[in-house]
Amino acid sequence: MTKILAVTGCPTGIAHTYMAEEALKAAAKQAGIEIKVETNGASGIDNMITDADLAKAVGVIIAADKDVNPDRFNGMAVIEVPVKDGIHKADILIKQILTGNVPIRNSNKSEPITTDNVSNSQVKESIGRQIYKHLMNGVSNMLPFVVAGGVLIAISFLWGIYSADPMSPQYNQFAALLKNIGGQAFGIMVPVFTAFVASSIAGRPGMVAGFIGGLVANITGAGFIGGIIAGFAAGYLMLYVKKWLDHLPRQFEGLKSIFIMPLIGVFIIGAVMYLLGDPIAAINNGMKEWLQSLQRANPILLGIVIGCMCSFDFGGPVNKAAYVTGTMLLGEGNFYFMAGVSAACIVPPFAIALSTTIFGNKAFSEDERAAGLVNYVLGATHITEGAIPFAAKDPLRVIPIMMLSSAIAAVLTFLSHIQVPAPHGGFLVLPLVNKPLLWVGCIFVGAVLGAVLLGLTRMHRNRKLAAKAAS
C-alpha cells in the first residue's frame, strides 16, 4: 500500500497540531493509502518518523507553523504548508502528493506544480512565511515558561498582594517562595523566546547568541521588541559566520563549533543589543504607556481592539500578538489588560458550545453538536482553538460574530476594572481574580450573544439550503 508521511505542529502545540493530524488521517483513509503523522505538540514529539518510514514513503506533508526539523526530508517530495491548511485542505494535500507533481526538497530539480489548489507559494516557502515560522518557534517554546511562572506568581497573591515583601504584615514565607520561583520562570521568557527564534534559523550556534541577546534585552529594558531583533540578528549572523568558516579544515570542526562561533556570536549580538537597548526601551515604554492610557481613557475602544484581535484567527498570529502584549504588561504589574485578553480568548469556544446546546438539531449536525460539547472544556481552560472547525466551515459569518462577542466581553471586563494576575488557565485561576463572578458574567454576556447570533444565522442558512434543494 502507498505510504506517505506527515508532520504537524502549531505554536502552542495544543489544538491545531492534533486537528491537522485527524484531518490528514481521515483524508488518507478516504484515499485508501497509509499515512503516519508525527505530532509536535506541547508535550513533545509523538509518533516520531523513523529512517524505516522515510525509506517506504513516497512523499511528506509538513503542516506546521514551527520548526519541525524539515532537513531530514531533504531529497524527498515534500509539501510545506501552514498548519491551518493541514486542517482545511487535507484532501487536496493528499491528492497533490499522489500525483507526484511535488518539488524535491533541497534539490536542483524544479518540478512544476500543476494543481490550482495548492499554490507554488505554499510549496516553496516565502520569506514572510519563514519569518512567521521562526517567530512562532520562539513563542511556542516561551509559552510554558510564561504560563508556569505567571500562575505561580498569581497563586502567591492568595496570601495578599504584598505577601512576598518581608516588610509587609501580609508576608508569608511560602507565598514569597512561589513568587520568587515564578519570577525566575517569568523573567527569562524574552531570552527563551529570542534563543528559539535564532535556533529556528541557525540551530545551536544561533541559540547561544540569541539567548545572550535576549538577556541583554532584558537588562536594558528592550523587552519583546528587542528580543525579536536579537533573535533574527543572531540567527542570520550565525548562518553567515558558519558559511564563512566552512573553508576551515575538518580538524578545526570542534574548535569552530565550541569556541569560534559562540565567541563571535555572543560578542557581536551582545554589543549590538547594548547599543540598541536604550532606544528600543524608549519605544517599548512609549507603547506600554499608550496602552495603559487607552485603558484608562477609552476602555471601550481598547476592548473592541483586543476582542477583535483575539477572535480574528483563534490562536493564530493576530491572537498571539494580543496575548504577548498582555503577558508583557502582566510582567509590569498590569493585571487589567490580561483580564480583557483572557475574556476575549475564552468567549469563542463558549459561544460555540452554547449555540450547539441551545439550537440543537435545528441548526447543527450531530457531529457539530458533539464538537460543541468539547468546547465547554476548551473554553473553561482558555483554549480558543476549539472554534476553528466551525469558523472554517463558514468564516464570513462565524468570524465576525465571534469578534463581536469577544469585543463585548473585553469591553465589559475593562469597564468593570477586573484584574487577572495569571497569563493562562481560564476558569482554573478564578480564585486569583479580584472579581471572579463579575468576570464570568462578562464572559457569558459575550458568549450568549454570540451563541444566539450564530444559531440564528445557521438556521437561516439551513432554511435557504433546504429551499434551494427543494426547488
Say whether both 132 and 118 belong to one domain: no
Say whether both 166 and 278 belong to one domain: yes
Choose, from 10, 308, 310, 345, the residue flagged as catalytic. Answer: 10
Cα dihedral sign, 380-433-445-289: negative
- What the block records as the C-alpha cell of 22 is 485527524
CB-based burial, 305-336: b 16+ in 10 Å, e otherwise: bbbbbbbbbbbbeebbebbbbbbbbbbeebbb
DSSP 8-class letter at 75: T
Residue 16: what pLDDT?
Answer: 80
- Rounded CA separation 9/85 (Å): 12
Last residue of a domain, one of 264, 286, 308: 286
Residue 293 lies in a domain: no
Which residues of the chain register pLDDT less than 50? 109-123
Residue 292 lies in a domain: no
Say whether both 249 and 225 belong to one domain: yes
Say whether both 274 and 307 belong to one domain: no
Is 308 an annotated catalytic residue? no
- What the block records as the C-alpha cell of 184 is 525566575
Angle value at C-alpha 406, between 401 and 411, nearest 5 degrees: 130
- Rounded CA separation 136/142 (Å): 10
Last residue of a domain, one of 286, 313, 333: 286
Residue 55 lies in a domain: yes
Give the HSE-up count for residue 344: Cα atoms under 13 Å, Cβ half-sphere. 36
Last residue of a domain, one of 233, 255, 286: 286
Residue 424 lies in a domain: yes
Say whether both 281 and 308 belong to one domain: no
Where residue 47 sits, what CATH number does that domain have? 3.40.50.2300
Residue 396 CB contacts under 8 Å (≥ 6 apart), including other chains: none
Compute how many other C-beta atoms are within 10 angstroms of the C-beta atom of residue 356: 26
- Rounded CA separation 334/321 (Å): 17
Say whether both 352 and 394 belong to one domain: yes
Residue 423 lies in a domain: yes
**Which residues span the domain enclosing 55?**
3-122
Say whether both 270 and 198 belong to one domain: yes
Residue 417 lies in a domain: yes
Residue 294 lies in a domain: no
The answer to whether the predicted template modeling score (pTM) of the entire model surpasses 0.75 is no
Say whether both 448 and 350 belong to one domain: yes
Say whether both 115 and 81 belong to one domain: yes
Residue 223 lies in a domain: yes
How far is the CA of 140 from the CAs of 69, 215, 238, 322, in angstroms?
15, 18, 22, 15
**Total tally of structural domains belonging to the chain:** 3
Say whether both 366 and 330 belong to one domain: yes
Residue where the block lists cell 494580543: 322
Say whether both 164 and 90 belong to one domain: no
Say whether both 92 and 139 belong to one domain: no
